[in-house]
Structure 1
Amino acid sequence: MPLQVPTILVLTPRTITVELAGVAARDQLDAVLDWRLVASGDVMQEGQAGRPVLTVEGLVPGIAYGLEIAGFGGLDFTAPRESALIDIRDHGASKAADNSAAFAAAIAAAPAGATIYVPPGVWRTGPVFLKSDLCLHLPHGAVLKGLAERQAYPILDAFDAEGKMQASWEGVPAACFASLLTAIDASHIAIAGKGVIDGAGAEGDWWDWPKETREGARRPRTVFANRCVDFAMAGVTVRNSPSWTIHPINCRKAMFADLAIENPADSPNTDGLNPESSSDVEIVGVRFSVGDDCVAIKAGKIWPDGRVPEPTRNVSVRHCRMERGHGGVVIGSEMSGSVTDVTVERCTLADTDRGLRIKTRRGRGGEVARIAMRDCVMDGVLTPLAINSHYFCDPDGRSDAVQNRAPAPVDKTTPHLRDVTFAGIVARNVHHALAYVLGLSESPIMGLVIEDISVTYDPQAQAGVPEMAEGLPELRHGGIITENTTNPIIRGIAWPGDSNSRERAS
């Protein structure tokens, strides 16, 4: 049987990121694998891979290479040619200056197919606006760092001059400070290398006003892509975000591979990666340690004028490690445009509050359907599976209209949840409950499957509320609690000390 060949995730003129497709490993390989990069019979680079994704930089555009990884078939590829290599220093960049003008000049000078080169060193700048057919190359040792002063960040209005949504906050159009890296209405953009993008959230006052506006605007992200096609990030570390770290909205074909996303545990609302109203999104081999949700998949809220946002469809999350966040993979609570066809596979979650979490409420409408988490390991997760149709978000979230458990009329603002699979999970040191599932009485959750789960409990666990809805009990070492679900399938649960694997559900 022929050996499986690694899959190319992102290929730029100077970097390649591959996935060791077909491996059963989660975020780490069972053993390190030797690799080498060959050109014209000569070994150009060599090293070891310890994870199912690998980024190699230092390619020369236009050169044919072979990538050899022990246990895999050889991968032959040619580094794409670039129309120009634009060094930011040639446009006035200095390590002791505000480099906003230098970045703008370098990008303005770049023809289609060019690479913007950020050399090793720390380069401070205000927001950088990317354009189509461009690669931003951040090699090892390069740090693109935001300025601390709020005055360095222009404000993006909610809508542009043509009436198109330009900036968004929690699911609706809203004025926001421009993000450190901003791309709007662009295509074929890659941000690649082993450098760092530092949003400077730890500086200035960004984390002092998480839910407020200042100067009439909301906080910036670190990377924001709006209506982009073929948007890719590979290899880089993104840290210290002022708010959500990476936020693609209304995008198609987005790839996020071999990234590290790092925000302090106490930094407010610093979600890791938030695809919103986007389709065909892949999140592969990303390491998360953040101050809120690691992956938050969204589809907006119904706009004040009644418009419904675009859906989010076809999202794949695999080989990722998620630490310390409020949730591992979270869907909602902004999901009015519907979120469908999400698969989470071969991931590791450690010390997050929730594992797979779906949250919505009356008034949102939309559908969440065909969601699957399989073959994942969770350790120290308070509640591995949480589904909440009475989530108390927004100013009216605790109102009777949202929290009342009696059936309400079904209309276009009624959310619907169906076909959620939670299978092949190892859940160690659970605190509150293995699963807490709360549907709407007028729109019960359909097609819920919980199967083939191995569970142990943290002996030091403290009782706590498993979800954010009114009237829920505090739980410690709970099993599977479901309310307003239609014929859930629950089977193959290995409870601690239970050799017969009985289903402990209520």
Structure 2
Amino acid sequence: MTDLVTVAVSARMAAIRIAVPGARYYLPDPVSWRLRATNGDNLAWEGRTDRAVTLLDMLSPGTAYLLEVEGLGSLQFRTRECSGLVEAAAYGLLPYVSAQDTAAALRNADALQAAIADLPVGGTLRIGPGRWTALPVTLRSDMTLHLAEGAELCSPSSRDSWSVFPARDNAGHLLGSWEGEPAACFAAPLHAIGARRLVLEGKGILDGAGNAGDWWGWAKETRDGARRARGLHLIDCSDVTLFGFTIRNAPSWIIHPQGCHRLVAACLSIEAPHDSPNTDGFNPEGSSEIRVEGVRFTVGDDCIAIKAGKRGPCGEAAHLRETRDVQIRHCLMERGHGGVVIGSEMSGGVHDVLVEDCEMIGTDRGLRLKTRRGRGGSVSGITMRRVRMEGVLTAFSANAHYHCDPDGHDEWVQSRQPAALDEGTPEIDGIAVEDIDLHEVGHAVGAFLGLPEAPIRNVSIRNLRVHSFDPEAAPAPPIMADGVQAMRHEMIVYEHAHVECDDPTLLSPSRLSVSNFQAAS
């Protein structure tokens, strides 16, 4: 039976899931739809879609609609009320001249902040067609920012006058961060702190200008006392809706919900060049009830990286928060280091993650878990089903010897001998993989490397179909740990892990670690 599901609704837009069997990012076959208002004015729209999550726009606030999809039934929904529409152009925005025009960027940021301040509760600020440059802008509660089709909001290439988040606010709450620890960072071009009922929507473009400045030249460094900015940074926000727009060229992570609760991201396009450093697409951290549907990724790092903070070098843990209840549906991940990744910053714990009806093309890995001794925390309840992968090097991996941080190659991190259990011992328990199609696998179908003192538990693999291997693949280690064998066209290899598969021929007798491996002292 087909279900039509409302994924997100604002005053002027809606995202609808058309859940037909076999749908991933695209529907098996395009369908026609008809939308009409049910308030008696007989207005109606017709269209055709090939997307499993389809965006409807140009709707009227506070209006009931009936959506009818050819051969698939109907759905009723109502748009939100809008207390007022404000045009950003009325505040004197200056048109784009160049990425170096810092004066216009400062003027436009001030104009947008004034418009946001004047916006009534529940109102909409519309940025119309045109190209505009602005320094970082702070969004607030009970507002919608609507980027109209043809609108492009860009950051300047220079960091002059660029604001910075301190690691913590005056009350000690985490603001800035870097790789899971408190750290000052440049403010994102669009950001919000503690906002409630925030909507960011439209068919326009947010461009972080990471390609125009020097951001990508100092990926792991600090400059002017701060780490690189994100593209969109949401801190301690709740009831957030993001849909319709394209976001690209972020200075670092593209969308970073940090400490957020109840957030929906739908029908977005998230983009970065393949060689841009640490441009992860969507990184929920210390967050809960996150929904990602109908999003297309092509990025320079992981498409989705789910995180929960990193324990400090001296065991600091006050900043850690668990991430729980993340659902990812009908997404297309065309390039990136990983499709859906958990970690390596997972010290607060990551639980109950569902990935279903997605497609991954040309990502290095499909589902990837990574951690190491010293991180602590636990990962549980990870489910992936009805996913198609093509040209992925290693489809499934879980690695408890990930060689991150300056001490990542040390003996105590990489040793395959049991270590004492303590608060820094990470745990992985519960990975369910079902109904997966793999094409052109490069290195291995699966690679699971646990700790001898805390093996990976309860990995269940069902209905896994390996259709083909990549004939051009060169041997390489399937996971990033020391002492791992180079592999090519391998099946499921595991060490210090409990793996059950309904097809025993997919379980390889090969060793994952080299037999004479000794970690560096």
Q: Which moved more, 1:189-198 or 1:62-71?
A: 62-71
Aligned to 2:473: 461
Aligned to 2:205: 196
Secondary structure at 2:27 match in 1: coil
Alignment gaps of 5+ in structure 2: 97-103, 511-521
Aligned to 1:290: 299
Aligned to 2:516: none
Aligned to 1:370: 381
Find out whether 1:479 has 2:520 as its counterpart: no
Query: Identity, % of aligned pairs?
Result: 46
Quote the offset at 1:20 in angstroms: 1.4
Write the letter of the residue equivalent to 1:420.
Answer: I
Find out whether 1:434 has 2:434 as its counterpart: no
Change beyond 3 A, Cα 1:388–1:502: closer
Write the letter of the residue equivalent to 2:204.
Answer: G
Find out whether 1:336 has 2:347 as its counterpart: yes
Aligned residues: 496
Aligned to 2:513: none
Aligned to 1:64: 64
Change beyond 3 A, Cα 1:86–1:463: same
Find out whether 1:310 has 2:308 as its counterpart: no
Find out whether 1:51 has 2:51 as its counterpart: yes
Write the letter of the residue equivalent to 1:469.
Answer: A
Residues 139 and 193 in structure 1, CA contact (< 8 A), matched pair in contact too? yes
Q: Deviations over 1:239-286 (max 9, x none)?
A: 111100000011100111111101000100000000001011011111
Find out whether 1:354 has 2:365 as its counterpart: yes
Quote the offset at 1:461 in angstroms: 1.1
- Counterparts of 1:308 and 1:121, CA distance in 2: 41
Find out whether 1:87 has 2:76 as its counterpart: no
Q: Which moved more, 1:117-126 or 1:92-101?
A: 92-101
- Counterparts of 2:288 and 2:422, CA distance in 1: 26
- Counterparts of 2:283 and 2:6, CA distance in 1: 23
Q: Which moved more, 1:159-168 or 1:350-359?
A: 159-168
- Counterparts of 1:447 and 1:426, CA distance in 2: 21
Secondary structure at 1:101 match in 2: helix
- Counterparts of 2:18 and 2:43, CA distance in 1: 21
- Counterparts of 1:502 and 1:335, CA distance in 2: 29
Aligned to 1:408: 419
Aligned to 1:383: 394
Aligned to 1:30: 28
Find out whether 1:21 has 2:19 as its counterpart: yes
Residues 188 and 229 in structure 1, CA contact (< 8 A), matched pair in contact too? yes
Equivalent position to 2:10, from 9, 12, 34: 12
- Counterparts of 1:443 and 1:503, CA distance in 2: 21
Quote the offset at 1:23 in angstroms: 4.0
Alignment gaps of 5+ in structure 1: 494-500
Equivalent position to 1:345, from 346, 350, 356: 356
Q: Which moved more, 1:397-406 or 1:295-304?
A: 295-304
Change beyond 3 A, Cα 1:424–1:164: same
Q: Give the CA RMSD over aligned residues.
A: 1.4
Quote the offset at 1:7 in angstroms: 1.5
Residues 479 and 505 in structure 1, CA contact (< 8 A), matched pair in contact too? no
Q: Deviations over 1:84-137 (max 9, x none)?
A: 111111112121432111111111111210101010111111111000011111
Secondary structure at 1:283 match in 2: strand
TM-score (norm 1): 0.95
Secondary structure at 2:173 match in 1: coil
Residues 293 and 329 in structure 1, CA contact (< 8 A), matched pair in contact too? yes
Aligned to 1:498: none
Residue correspondence of structure 1 range 27-176 to structure 2 within 5 A: 27-39=25-37, 40=40, 42-96=42-96, 97-98=104-105, 99-176=108-185
